Every structure is written in structure tokens, then in C-alpha cells.
A and B are shown apart, each in its own frame.
Chain A
């Protein structure tokens, strides 16, 4: 285990340094949800009436409603972006360096996943800080209770990205897959509108949204933001994380030859 700790710290540090060096990535990660919050939500506020449903105990503005969904969006983009960097790393070779370290492959991949999740959580808190400046706030306990929820949701989405990256052979294929993952996951969820609202327009869409793991990640975050636990969402997120992780580890199994190349 003594050999593992420096490796874990190094992978975490490298991811953090890489993030610091890519200032535009940080800005994009911050600006994207802020545009949704300050522009989209302002326009939508009038159109969408929200009834009082848990965890809310009073009428809330639409801006308040979408904050947890936008945290989910940050984690979703971050998870996909870090898996994109894995595909890039594989093409440039630095993934080879990681995978040839004398450590179990599952440990290396989970370390990479934890590093990406850590960065995602930092982005979420940066976003919440800006939202707070615009008077869109959570109860104080929520800021604390959010951390485990963000970590879990981040791990789930990171594991999904990791699994995808193991099955994508080339960088060029990645953009297409992203369109088929990010947008459906985000729009077919409770991030932007509550599920009961979705049921009013289509039962089928409601059922799809209810089965979407991202919905449960958002609900886990939403309840945590008000100091509450959503057990059903927690179960979903944990199960989905386990499935995505198992897929990723299978995808990166050396006997499958994912990293191979002709020569």
C-alpha cells in the first residue's frame, strides 16, 4: 500500500495541474452553467410554474430549481471531458506511461477517476460561489451536505466517461458519441424540469427520464443541497457507478487489447 499512496497523490496532482494550466477549460466549465442560470432560467421563469415538491418547502424560483441540475451538468461535462483526455492521452502516449506502472490497472484507473471527480467538485463549488453572488443561495448546511453527493455523482459520471473512453478507438469518434451521451442525458433528466412536469406532456418521456441515472444523480444533489438524503437516488447512483466502473475495467483489461496498435 505504501507504493500506492504516492501514485494516487501524483495522479491527483497531475490532474489538478493540468486543470490549472487549461484556464479556458475552467472558464468554460464556469460560464456554461452560468449562462443557463442567468439567461435561460430568467427567460424560463415566467413560462414554468413550479409546485411545492420535496425537498422544497415553499415556492421557489426557477433559478433555484435548476442549480442542482447545473451542478450535475458540470459533473457530466467534466466526466466526459476527462474521458476525452483519456482518449487523447492514449493517442499521444501518456496513457501508456500510466498503464505500464507496476500497479494494478484497476487502481490506476480509479485513481484517475477520483482525480477527475475532485476537479469536478471544485468546479461545482466555484459555480455555487458565483450563483451566491447573484443571490441564488442554498441553506448553509446544504453547502456541506452537497460534497458527498457531488463526489458520488461525479464518480458515476466519470466512470461512465471512463467506460466510453475504453470503447472509443479514436479521438474523432468521440465528438459523435458525446452528442449521443451528453445531450440526451442532460435533457432527458430532472435537471431542467421536474419529472411530474414531464409526465404532463408524455408518459413515455417521463419513464425514460426516470430511468436515466443522471436524473438520480441530480436528485441526489438536489436533496443534499437542502440537507436531506434521497435513498432511492443514492441506490441508483451507487448501482450505476458499479455498472459503469465494471464496464470500464473490462474495457481496459489488457487481455482485451484495447490499447493495442498495429506495428
Chain B
């Protein structure tokens, strides 16, 4: 139940954002998509989530081809967007109920899944609070819980720790590593090297191309990831 991208290209007018990109993220692994700002991460996420479509290339989510069966592919995917997408005037539970309904879940089935997702992210006691009352870290956890309600095979996270303090960042990173350990396919886009562990799978994206892919420890060969990253992208992380 992996995520596969084959020969994906995308341009904004004359500017090429993704250039013949192929990559894979597999179940049970935390795959970090590392790249500096402007590398094409958000464009890739837009295409993976079908906010827009590419004329060239193929995306397969848990065996479902995004071009041929977009709804089946989207149904197998949980998404955490870079920008905050909770309705701040609603409670955490109301936000999750809304999302569950968008995935065709209602009533008792939805309630059970929402409780399980909140429990998994240690957010159950916050269910009745307005999203506005939560701090940034808890809002993110609520969004991750929301992305898990429909039991997706693949979880996509687009720079989910943007704007969070160090403690919240570490907590979110730990939670998502745990999800990968439980067998989920996780693709985590970031430009922060300290979110990547040595045992993670690493995809290095730069100027729309994949510069390197493999186990982080094998790629860096003992070098600090930050230095390795800078040496290849020539830009500060």
C-alpha cells in the first residue's frame, strides 16, 4: 500500500516546478521529503492531493491510479496541509465530524472512528474545546487525528511543523514516526533536517528534481544531515 510517483512534470508557465520526478514511499516507513523552499514540495503535494493535475506523469496511491480513479485514490489518503485548515469557531469534535462526513462517515461509525483517532493523538480530552482555544501544537495534532479518521493507507504531511515551538515540533514528529511504525505509509515534507531520523527514508528534492533517495544513514555516510543537505542544495536549511 505504497505511494508511487512516476515521471511527474509540472510547470507554472515557463517555470518548471517539477522535472520528470519519480519516487516511492513504502508502508511502515517514515519517508522524509527534504528540500529547500521552492524545491517543488508544495507543487508535488498539490498534485498528490489532486488540487490540480499534471499533464505528464503518474501517481499511484495504495494501488489506485490518481489519473484513472481519483476518488478511490483520495479515499486511501490522509492529508495534513501546511496551512491550518481547522474551522476555529467549531470544536475539535465538530471539525472531525465535518471531515468524517466528507468521507461518507456519519452516526455511530463516525463517532467511534473519531474517538479512536483522537485517542491515538492523545487529544480525546480536548474534543469539546473550540479549535480557537488550542495552541498551535494541539491544533496540528487535531489535524493529524482528523486525517486518520477514514483509516488511510497513506498519510501526507506538508511541512506540518511550520510555526510550532521546539517542544510541539518534537511531539508531532514523534507521533508521526509512531504511525509509520504501526505500518502506515508516511510522506513528510520538510526543509528542517532535525525532523529526519537516521533510520528514516529520505528523498532529497531540489529545483524540481530528485537528487538522492535512500535510507538517511546510508546517504549521509556518517556526515551530519544538515551539512550533507547544504552541500547538495547550496542553500541554508
Besides A3-B104, A10-B106, A254-B51, 10 more A-B contacts (Cβ < 8 Å) are: A7-B104, A14-B90, A18-B89, A97-B85, A97-B99, A100-B79, A102-B74, A102-B104, A104-B71, A258-B52
Chain B residues contacting A262 (CB-CB under 8 Å) are: 12, 17, 38, 42-43
Q: Are B101 and A9 in contact (CB under 8 A)?
A: yes
A110 within 8 A of B: no
A94 within 8 A of B: yes
Q: In the complex, what's the smallest C-beta–C-beta distance from B94 to chain A, in angstroms? A: 7
B206 within 8 A of A: no
The distance in angstroms between the C-alpha atoms of A127 and B72, with both chains bound, is 45
Chain B residues contacting A14 (CB-CB under 8 Å) are: 87, 90, 98
The distance in angstroms between the C-alpha atoms of A77 and B46, with both chains bound, is 32
Q: Are A263 and B41 in contact (CB under 8 A)?
A: yes
Chain B positions within 8 Å of A, measured between CB atoms, are 12, 17, 37-38, 40-43, 45-46, 49-53, 55, 71-72, 74-75, 77, 79, 81-87, 89-90, 94, 97-106, 110
Q: Are B103 and A93 in contact (CB under 8 A)?
A: no
Number of A-B contacts (CB under 8 A): 111
Instruction: Name the interface residues of A245-263: CB closer than 8 Å to any CB of B.
Output: 254-263
| 17 A-B pairs in the complex with CB atoms less than 8 angstroms apart | A6-B106, A7-B104, A9-B101, A10-B97, A14-B87, A97-B79, A97-B81, A99-B51, A100-B50, A100-B77, A100-B79, A102-B74, A255-B55, A260-B51, A261-B46, A263-B38, A263-B42
Q: Are A254 and B83 in contact (CB under 8 A)?
A: no
Q: Are A259 and B51 in contact (CB under 8 A)?
A: yes
Per CB-CB distance, the 8 closest pairs between chain A and chain B, nearest first, are A263-B42, A3-B104, A10-B101, A93-B83, A257-B52, A101-B102, A102-B75, A6-B106
Q: Are A17 and B90 in contact (CB under 8 A)?
A: yes
Q: Are B71 and A103 in contact (CB under 8 A)?
A: yes
Q: Are A260 and B43 in contact (CB under 8 A)?
A: yes
Q: Are B51 and A7 in contact (CB under 8 A)?
A: no
Chain B residues contacting A179 (CB-CB under 8 Å) are: none
Q: In the complex, what's the smallest C-beta–C-beta distance from B122 to chain A, in angstroms? A: 23
The distance in angstroms between the C-alpha atoms of A98 and B49, with both chains bound, is 11
Q: Are A94 and B102 in contact (CB under 8 A)?
A: no
Q: Are A17 and B85 in contact (CB under 8 A)?
A: no
Chain B residues contacting A4 (CB-CB under 8 Å) are: 104
What count of chain A residues pass the 8 Å CB interface test? 35
Q: Are A18 and B84 in contact (CB under 8 A)?
A: no
Instruction: Name the interface residues of A145-199: CB closer than 8 Å to any CB of B.
Output: none
Contact of A2 among B17, B79, B104 (CB under 8 A): B104
Chain A positions within 8 Å of B, measured between CB atoms, are 2-4, 6-7, 9-11, 13-14, 17-18, 21, 92-94, 96-104, 254-263
Do A94 and B85 contact each other (CB < 8 Å), given the known contacts A259-B51, A259-B52?
A: yes
Q: Are A18 and B87 in contact (CB under 8 A)?
A: yes
Chain A residues contacting B41 (CB-CB under 8 Å) are: 263
Q: In the complex, what's the smallest C-beta–C-beta distance from B3 to chain A, in angstroms? A: 15
Q: In the complex, what's the smallest C-beta–C-beta distance from B152 to chain A, in angstroms? A: 10
The distance in angstroms between the C-alpha atoms of A261 and B89, with both chains bound, is 26
Q: Which chain A residue has the least Cβ–Cβ distance from B73?
A: A102
Chain A residues contacting B79 (CB-CB under 8 Å) are: 96-97, 100
Q: Are B104 and A6 in contact (CB under 8 A)?
A: yes
Q: Are B89 and A96 in contact (CB under 8 A)?
A: no
Q: Are A101 and B89 in contact (CB under 8 A)?
A: no
The distance in angstroms between the C-alpha atoms of A46 and B42, with both chains bound, is 61
Chain B residues contacting A11 (CB-CB under 8 Å) are: 102
Q: In the complex, what's the smallest C-beta–C-beta distance from A107 to chain B, in angstroms? A: 10
The distance in angstroms between the C-alpha atoms of A96 and B84, with both chains bound, is 10
The distance in angstroms between the C-alpha atoms of A10 and B52, with both chains bound, is 24
The distance in angstroms between the C-alpha atoms of A238 and B179, with both chains bound, is 50
The distance in angstroms between the C-alpha atoms of A176 and B75, with both chains bound, is 38
Q: Are B75 and A6 in contact (CB under 8 A)?
A: no
Q: Are A103 and B102 in contact (CB under 8 A)?
A: yes
The distance in angstroms between the C-alpha atoms of A260 and B98, with both chains bound, is 24
Q: Are B52 and A92 in contact (CB under 8 A)?
A: no
Q: In the complex, what's the smallest C-beta–C-beta distance from B56 to chain A, in angstroms? A: 12
Chain A residues contacting B104 (CB-CB under 8 Å) are: 2-4, 6-7, 102
Q: In the complex, what's the smallest C-beta–C-beta distance from B168 to chain A, in angstroms? A: 19
Chain A residues contacting B51 (CB-CB under 8 Å) are: 96, 99-100, 254, 259-260
Chain A residues contacting B72 (CB-CB under 8 Å) are: 102
Q: Which chain B residue has the least Cβ–Cβ distance from A2?
A: B104
Contact of A93 among B81, B100, B102 (CB under 8 A): B81
The distance in angstroms between the C-alpha atoms of A14 and B85, with both chains bound, is 14
Q: Are B101 and A6 in contact (CB under 8 A)?
A: yes
Do A7 and B42 contact each other (CB < 8 Å), given the known contacts A102-B72, A255-B53?
A: no
